[in-house]
Structure 1
Amino acid sequence: MSPLLDWLVENEPSFRKTRLPSLYSDLTVQKSTNPEGYAANVTAWASALTRASLAGQLPLEQRLILQTSDDLLSALASAQYGRPSGLGSVLDDCMRQGKMVDLHDFLASEKSIYSRSWIPSPWAVLRWSLRQVGIVGTGSYEVNGHLRKGSLVLVPALEEVWKHVQRLRDRSAQGLTDRIMSRETFLKELNDLIEGTLSDQDVAVLLRYLSRDKQALAYEETTIKFKAPTSTAPEPITHEDRSIATLKTLISNLTLQIANLNTRIATLQARAQTSVKTGNKTSALSTLRSKKLAEQSLTSRTDTLHQLEQVYAKLEAAADQVEIVAAMQASAGALKTLNNKVGGVERVEDVLDTLREEMGKTDEVSGVIAEPLDSNAVLDEGEVNDELESMEREERNKREALQRAEMERKDAEEAEATRRRLGELDGVDQAARSKEQSADSVEQELSRSIEKMQKLNLDGRQQPQAAEGVS
């Protein structure tokens, strides 16, 4: 397999070896015989091309733009399956779905690629189909097994890089000076995040995407300005913004130069010490002169850096003050508008007076409504008191009756419990008496048995004696 195909098999889940026969089959035929399989293969190819482009694995190392030609087919060729058939049809479908956009159209359009008007109309889709069968023009990327040369912007790749741009934007503070940077600094930090290098065309496409489609920033040739958190759209770049971007770039460059000079001075110092140890006086003097020049340059650059940092601090403070004053001015305008709606102290006093008057009228009406209809009716307070006492007396009688019933119920329960206990005690006494009677009868029976035995014994002794006397 080609190096590109080896990379896809290893890194792209949809390019398992078991799927290669289907992916490399004639997709133009598969489109009509197996639409579901064709759709799955289109998705797999779109994902594979996007991932390979972001990783810099395509023939032209552009991260966000796919260059189409037979070179791409050759790079994807397999020793076993040959070149992918019908890849041009895949690109056509990706363009219809908005996953890929012609580079010229992408840069020239003022409308977002996500707007409804960007989606091809039914007539545009028909014309595209007619191109594919050779009736109208040659707009299709499928040309008799070859790929038409062109440049396609990979929208999924842009969306992936957008995630890195968000991290780059969010990791800094949201003040004016923090939202401004030079184009050079922006690209350096972004390349570090994506672990790659964007080409000039990639950068042009990315900035257009971030400005038009994501409304995230405004940009010029040298300056980039992120949108404020409270704004709905990016603000235009001003002369002050360009000055801030230039100043930040100078500070960054000087910081790097100072770090390099410190490293050079340390290296020259070690080299001079080595020359002294070996007795090479000429080399030692030359090295020390170079070290001295580096130290002078370091001092100059350090002083310049301090001055630039002071200027930047003043600019930062001034920018913050501008935002504060703008916020205060907006607040003052809003407060003035609200106060105008209130109408001043006199209007408020008139409103309160009117309110008090109307509330008094309401109280008067309530009082009139509460008066009895018969003005001659006189309320007998004695009758009211008598009725109240009667109701209270009736309530007391009810409570006392309930209390008596409750006491009688408790007394009945206690009497019943006492009867049960007495019955249990009587049963125990009867059982004890029965046992005593049984014991007495046994003892009497035993006594009678003993007497009988004694009597029998006496009778037995008397009978022999009588026999002897007869003889």
Structure 2
Amino acid sequence: MSSLIDWLVENEPAFRKTRLPSLYSDLAVQKTSNPEGYAANVTAWQAALTRAALAGQLPFEQRLILQTSDDLLNALASPHYGRPSGLGCVLDDCVRHGKMIDLQDFLVSEKSIYNRSWLPSPWAILRWSLRQVGIVGTASYEVPGGRLKKGGLVLVPALEEVWKKMQVLQDTQTQSLTDRIVSRDLFLKEMNSLFSGPVSLSDQDINVLLRYLARDKHALSYDDTTIKFKSPAAPMPEPITQEDHSIASLKTLIANLNSQIENLTSRISTLQSNAQIAVKTGNKASALSALRSKKLAERSLQSRIDTLHQLEEVYTKIEAAVDQVEVVAAMEASAGVLKTLNKKIGGVERVDDVLDSLREEMSKVDEVSGVVADPLAGNAVLDEAEVDDELENMEREERIKREEKSREQKKKLEIQEAEVTRRRLAELEGQPAAQAPSTESEKNKENMQIADVDLERSLSSSIDKLQKLDIDGLQHRQNEDQQHQQPQKVAEGT
């Protein structure tokens, strides 16, 4: 197997060795004989081509674009199964479902790739009709003879994968204006850091990615040299200004100086090592040459360090000025809000009028509350005679209830006594006069019943005595109250 097929077998679950015969078979025949198997094979090829492109395994130095030609078929060829048959059908199906888009159509279209209309275009209807009658249209990637049409296809799943990685990267960074502005070169370096492998993004890859981020994700605005990401608070990206170009150029210079300083530092270290080796070997000329070159590199390094410090100071000032602009803009907006609210309030005089009116209405409420409460507080007169009559009625009802309860208890006691007497008579009639109760338990039971009867009698007697005492005491207290109230009434009458 070729290296690309080895990589697919190792990294793609759908490209198991047992599935290779089906994947490399004639997919045009599978489309009619086995639709489910055809759909599974199309999905497997689409995912495999996308991941191979992102990993830099395809024979083209591109990550986001699939170049279709016989070179792709040769790269995918297997020693056992040959070149994949029907790969053009796979590409046509991916284009039809929006997984792959023609490169030129992607770059020139103003409509988002996610804006799908339910009405098919006339060209799509015509192409479908030609395929139904067996005529392959010019837009098809299936060329007779097992070949592929030459062209470029944008891999939409690859773009979506890069977008996810960019979102994770942006979440870890600050979102100030200077951080959101980068040059095209710095953007290329940052994007290449997201990928592994020797293959980096090409110019076409960058053009496709920027077009996707600006048109389909509304994440940034860009031109030939500068890229400006959207602010988190803004609904849409802002246009690029001359100040943005200056900030991007300054950041690029700082990045280049940092790279030059690293290279010069490494060169100085190498020259120092060469001079030491020359001294050890006694090669005085080589040692002097290395030392001279080292001195020149040190001067150049110091010059670049000084320049870098100046540029970094300028960049710091720009960051401070940007922050001040944002602060002033926020203060200006806040002042406008306060001005609008103060207009609604109407000034201090209106507030005083409102407070005076509020106090007046509150005092009216207090006056009404006082008027409502006066009859209850001072004009209500209690009739003591009615109170005494109501109390006497309540006591009479309570006394009647107690008497009824006492009569019921007496009646129960009489019934119990009669029952005990009846049992004794029955026992006396059924046994000889000299014979004692049969068992000790019966004796105890009889004694307990007698004790219960005696206890109930004593309780009933005690209850009667207490009721009599309560009634006598109550009458005595009422008489004393009447005798005490008569002198007061006489005094009030006089």
Q: Determine whether 1:275 maps to 2:278.
A: yes
Moved more, 285-294 or 166-175: 166-175
Partner of 1:315: 318
Measured after TM superposition, the shift of residue 365 of structure 1 is 7.7
- The residue matched to 2:240 in structure 1 has which SS? coil
Question: Normalising by structure 2, what TM-score?
Answer: 0.72
Alignment match, 2:152: 151
* Per-residue CA distance 1:298-328 (angstroms, 9 max, x = gap): 1211111111111111111111111111122
Q: Counterpart of 1:22 in structure 2: which amino acid?
A: S
Please tell me whether the aligned partners of residues 168 and 190 of structure 1 are also in contact (alpha carbons under 8 angstroms).
no
Q: How far has the Cα of 1:124 moved from its partner?
A: 5.5
Indicate if the aligned counterparts of 1:92 and 1:140 stay in contact, CA closer than 8 A: yes
* Whole-angstrom CA distance in 2 between matches of 1:177 and 1:108: 30
Structure 2 counterpart of 1:129: 128
- Once residues 136 and 161 of structure 1 are traced to their aligned partners in structure 2, the CA distance between those partners, rounded to angstroms, is 34
Match status 1:245 vs 2:248: yes
1:413 alignment partner in structure 2 = none
Counterpart of 1:382 in structure 2: which amino acid? D
Deviations 1:129-183 (A, max 9, x none): 2243455842222233432222111000001111222233233221111111111
Matched, 1:333 2:332: no
Amino acid at match of 1:248: K
Query: How far, CA to CA, are the matches of 1:265 and 1:228 in structure 2?
Result: 43
* Identical aligned residues as a percent: 69
- Mean Cα displacement is larger for which, 382-391 or 253-262? 382-391
SS in 1 for 2:173: coil
In structure 1, distance between residues paired with 2:116 and 2:268: 61
Structure-2 residue corresponding to 1:185: 186
Q: Structure 2 vs 1, CA of residues 386 and 161 (structure 1 numbering), >3 Å: closer, same or farther?
A: same
Matched residue, 1:164: 165
Cα 1:97/1:379, change in 2 over 3 Å: same
**Conserved 8 A contact 1:131-1:140:** no
Larger CA deviation: 99-108 vs 279-288: 279-288
Q: 1:387 to 1:34 in 2, by over 3 A?
A: farther
Superimposed CA distance per residue, residues 166-212 of structure 1 (whole angstroms, 9 cap, x where no aligned partner): 23323322111111111111111221221240011111000111111
Counterpart residue identity of residue 25, structure 2: S
Report the CA distance between 1:389 and its aligned residue: 8.8
Instruction: Tell me the CA shift for residue 49 of structure 1.
Output: 0.8
1:169 and 1:226 in contact (8 A); partners too: no
2:15/2:44 contact within 8 Å kept: yes
2:189 maps to amino acid: K
Contact 2:64 2:159 in 1 (8 A): yes
The match for 1:216 is: 219
Deviation at 1:364, TM superposition (A): 7.5
State how far apart, in whole Å, the 2-side matches of 1:379 and 1:165 are: 84
Partner Cα separation in structure 2 for residue 34 and residue 330 of structure 1: 66
- Residues 266 and 355 from structure 1, CA distance in 2 versus in 1: closer, same or farther, beyond 3 angstroms? same
Counterpart contact for 1:101–1:152, Cα < 8 Å: yes
CA distances 1:212-231 after superposition (whole Å, capped 9, x unpaired): 11111121212112111211
Distance 1:194 1:45 in 2: 21
For 1:177, the aligned partner's letter is T
Q: Look up the match of 1:77.
A: 77
User: How has the CA–CA distance of structure 1 residues 122 and 181 changed in structure 2, closer, same or farther, with 3 Å as cutoff?
Assistant: closer
RMSD: 3.6
| CA distance 1:26–1:347, change in 2 (3 Å) | farther
Equivalent pairs, count: 400
Contact 1:161-1:194 within 8 A present in 2 as well: no
Partner deviation per Cα, 1:241-270 (whole Å, 9 max, x = no partner)? 111111111111112212222222222223
Alignment of 1:347-426 (within 5 A): 347-352=350-355, 379-382=380-383, 386=387, 390=391
Matched with 1:265 is 268
Conserved 8 A contact 1:127-1:136: no
> 2:346, 2:266 → 1: CA distance?
71
Partner Cα distance (1:188, 1:384) in 2: 106
Tell whether the 8 Å contact from 2:55 to 2:195 is kept in structure 1 after alignment.
Answer: no
Structure 1: runs of 5 or more not aligned: 373-377, 402-422, 428-471
1:65 maps to amino acid: I
| Residue pairs, 1:13-24, within 5 angstroms | 13-24=13-24
Amino acid at match of 1:173: T
Deviations 1:33-61 (A, max 9, x none): 22222111111111011011111222223
Amino acid paired to 2:127: W
Structure 1 residues 136 and 56: alpha-carbon distance in aligned structure 2, compared to 1, 3 A threshold? closer
Map of 1:103 onto structure 2: 103
- Please list the CA deviations of residues 404-461 of structure 1 after superposition, one character each: whole Å capped at 9, or x if unmatched: xxxxxxxxxxxxxxxxxxx99x99xxxxxxxxxxxxxxxxxxxxxxxxxxxxxxxxxx
Amino acid at match of 1:233: M
**Matched residue, 1:60:** 60
Aligned equivalents of 1:56, 1:2: Cα separation in 2: 15
Which of 94-103 and 326-335 deviates more? 326-335
Work out the CA distance in 2 between the residues paired with 1:330 and 1:302.
42
Match status 1:197 vs 2:200: yes
Structure 1 pair 367–95 and aligned structure 2 pair: CA distance change class (3 A)? farther
Report the equivalent of 2:177: 176
**Distance of aligned partners of 1:383 and 1:234 in 2 relative to their CA distance in 1, 3 Å threshold:** farther
- Greater displacement, 278-287 / 5-14: 278-287
Q: Distance in 2 between matches of 1:23 and 1:85?
A: 8
- Secondary structure at 2:9 match in 1: helix
**2: CA distance between counterparts of 1:148 and 1:230?**
46
Aligned to 2:30: 30
Amino acid at match of 1:257: Q
Which residue identity lines up with residue 24 of structure 2 in the other structure? Answer: Y
Following superposition, the deviation at residue 90 of structure 1 comes to 1.6
